[in-house]
Amino acid sequence: MLFSPRMNAFNNSHGALGSRARKLDEGILVIRFELPFNAWCAGCGHLMGKGVRFNAEKQEIGRYHSTRVWSFRMRTPCCSTALEVHTDPRNCEYLLVKGARRKHESYDAAQAGTLELPGAQERELLRSDALGSLESAARDA
């Protein structure tokens, strides 16, 4: 009996992608998506933390110049509300389109207790004044 491609077990399969590529003919690939920010679920109000992973359907929805704009559709783990995230290449971020509300967090260096770097004038003053640089070194120690 001769070999026939129809008898091949991998005929009409997607190789390494396996079942993740079952909707590839529609332009959808199932990927592992990690939430890039904290967000509240629109269905139940549960807070989903940054880094929570989902099995998401990835689909190209447009272009911004030559960069593709992607849509990621998934379900929330708390109440299975449909969640959709789009890429925003213009502003270099992600947009929550439906199913959740983004938690906006601001960062304040003084509140976080980080050290503030000296400005250009202070650095120039320290370079030119030997006694001043010695005093600041003693103050920092």
pLDDT in tens, 41-75: 999 999 999 999 999 999 999 999 999 999 999 99
Q: For residue 72, what pLDDT is reported?
A: 98
Q: Whose CA is closest to 101, among 32, 43, 31?
A: 43
pLDDT in tens, 28-45: 999 999 999 999 999 999
* Residue 16 identity (one-letter amino acid): A
User: Average model confidence (pLDDT) for the chain?
Assistant: 87
Q: For residue 10, what pLDDT is reported?
A: 65
In this structure, the chain runs to a length of 141
For residues 125 and 103, give the distance between their C-alpha atoms in angstroms, rounded to a whole number.
Answer: 42
For residues 17 and 32, give the distance between their C-alpha atoms in angstroms, rounded to a whole number.
Answer: 12
| pLDDT tier for residue 133 given thresholds of 50, 70 and 90 | confident
Kind plus residue range of the DSSP H or E element containing 93? strand 93-98
Taking the CA atoms of residue 50, residue 36, residue 56 and residue 89 in that order, the dihedral angle to the nearest 10 degrees is 170
pLDDT in tens, 67-119: 999 999 999 999 999 999 999 999 999 999 999 999 988 877 677 777 777 78
